[in-house]
Structure 1
Amino acid sequence: MGEARRVLVTRPEPGASHTARRLEEMGFAPVVLPLSETVPVVAEIAPGRYDAVAITSVNAIRHAEPGLIGSLIHLPAYAVGEKTANAARSAGFADVTAGRGDGEALALALSGALRHGAHVLYLAGRVRRPDFEAKAVAGGLEITVCETYDTADIDYRDLRGRLGDAQIDVALIYSVFAAKALIELAKRPEISDIWEKAWVLCLSPRILESLPERWQARALVSERPDEQALFKLLASL
């Protein structure tokens, strides 16, 4: 049996360590290199009467103050997917609906479930895609955003020491933010010899489109925007 393939894990902690454990169970050698970190910000809820809460990231729950969440748990919560829905339930929300995994689908579900003009509080990060908000407003909902966290770069000074000397075989990319950070890191000469042959597995077509053309020849997109689909793609290589 040959050496285990080395897989670069770029998602933020604590998810990166969880992914690494799963990769080890699958027989891969994970290399953990989070390319961003999520940090809490001071969040305030704008005054008003709200009919529901929308959540498109586990981080929006994780970084919110307990008092803020406590003031909302009487409302129905609509989460982008099952993982986010479970986080909402753990935080105290009793009425939680899980979506299919993307923001536009969540907006459509909300528009179908709530009355026209319903006021929705959207727990979100400062760095986010506009899809959910645009689709929800187009569907007749009033959206107020409450930002509970931000996304920040991580500066790796000893990058070669972090990655080691062996070839990176595959990189898992979970966001456009991470893709852009990896593009910049790959320009550093100290890692060019261990990176140039790596496959890049993307969680969405939008991530692939953000890659340089020379990378796209060795890039693939998972069939769904979730990690299980990304692992399935990895196992097929």
Structure 2
Amino acid sequence: MLVTRPEPGLSETMAAVTALGWHAVALPALRAEPILRGPLPVRGVQAILVTSGQAVTALAGRVPADMPILAVGAATARRARAAGFVQVTAADGTADALADLVRAEWRPAGGALLLATAPGYGLDLADALRRGGFRVVRRCVYRIRPGMPSPEELRALIGCGGVAAALFFSAETARQFLRHLPRDVRDMLREARAIAISDKAAEVLASVPWGEIVRAATPDQAAMLALLGVAAG
């Protein structure tokens, strides 16, 4: 069972997959690097939007703990609380849901929204909120780097035995996974099941042959593991 998500989250998912009886193989397609080197100015900001656990890691200790945090989903919200933030609200797991949460509970006149993200990320969310009259300030607090091992290591990991399934927790994870997968290794996955957290991730995965591509009923780990089931034997 391939687990392609990066930390934070990789270890948690590995343990959950193992508990179901599968042999979990860590194959993080991305790695995140915090790039903040000092406190993040939040004067005039009414809330901070975070769409990943990587953003939470980068913000911890860099902004006041009582700053309102609007998290994309429950897992990111849990990480924010664990990092010491005390005013955390969770959306339903997607950027669209986070935008809906902002529009329902916050007002443009209350101040700017700070979107803590990475280069190239969060653009659609920022645009959607700006169209609703909000002032959104994007700040890159971490950056994403490819995390895939070398082709030789991939052949050793994937070619040594049958792969039943692979878990993909974002469209970008799926994109980077496929981009760095040699053609011969890709062919080894033709019978495997790809489990996607969202329609966008499933669309990316559909660019190559799989035994089956399935999407989680809700964008969270529990729904993905429900599709995984318990290992036979």
1:92 is displaced (CA, Å) by 3.0
1:204 is displaced (CA, Å) by 0.6
Deviations 1:32-74 (A, max 9, x none): 11111111113664674112222221211112351x223xx33
1:137 corresponds, among 119, 127, 130, to 130
Q: Structure 1 residues 111, 24: CA separation in 2 closer, same or farther (over 3 Å shift)?
A: same
Query: What is the DSSP-based 3-state SS (H/G/I as helix, E as strand, rest coil) of the residue aligned with 2:44?
Result: coil
Counterpart amino acid of residue 147 in structure 2: I
In structure 1, the residue matched to 2:139 is: 146
1:160 corresponds, among 149, 155, 173, to 155
Q: Structure 1 residues 186, 10: CA separation in 2 closer, same or farther (over 3 Å shift)?
A: same
Counterpart amino acid of residue 36 in structure 2: V
- The answer to whether structure 1 residue 104 and structure 2 residue 99 are counterparts is no
Structure 1 window deviating more from structure 2 (101-110 vs 31-40): it is 101-110
Find the aligned partners of 2:11 and 2:207 in 1 and give their Cα distance: 30
Work out whether residues 56 and 83 of structure 2, in 8 Å CA contact, stay in contact via their aligned partners in 1: yes
Q: TM-score, normalised by structure 1?
A: 0.84
1:64 corresponds, among 59, 65, 70, to 59
In structure 2, the residue matched to 1:4 is: none
1:214 is displaced (CA, Å) by 4.7
In structure 2, the residue matched to 1:27 is: 21
Find the aligned partners of 2:122 and 2:101 in 1 and give their Cα distance: 18
Find the aligned partners of 2:145 and 2:220 in 1 and give their Cα distance: 22
What does 1:212-223 align with in structure 2 at a 5 Å threshold? Answer: 212-215=206-209, 218-223=212-217
1:129 is displaced (CA, Å) by 4.2
Q: Structure 1 residues 167, 46: CA separation in 2 closer, same or farther (over 3 Å shift)?
A: same
Q: TM-score, normalised by structure 2?
A: 0.86
Q: Structure 1 residues 133, 218: CA separation in 2 closer, same or farther (over 3 Å shift)?
A: same
Counterpart amino acid of residue 189 in structure 2: W
* Identity across the alignment (%): 27
1:232 is displaced (CA, Å) by 0.8
Work out whether residues 29 and 176 of structure 2, in 8 Å CA contact, stay in contact via their aligned partners in 1: yes
Which runs of no fewer than 5 residues in structure 1 stay unpaired? Answer: 1-6
Work out whether residues 190 and 211 of structure 2, in 8 Å CA contact, stay in contact via their aligned partners in 1: no
Query: What is the DSSP-based 3-state SS (H/G/I as helix, E as strand, rest coil) of the residue aligned with 1:207?
Result: helix
Which runs of no fewer than 5 residues in structure 2 stay unpaired? Answer: none
Find the aligned partners of 2:5 and 2:207 in 1 and give their Cα distance: 23
Counterpart amino acid of residue 152 in structure 1: R
1:115 is displaced (CA, Å) by 2.3
Question: Number of paired residues?
Answer: 227
The CA RMSD measured in Å over matched residues stands at 2.4
- The answer to whether structure 1 residue 74 and structure 2 residue 69 are counterparts is no
In structure 1, the residue matched to 2:114 is: 121
In structure 2, the residue matched to 1:227 is: 221
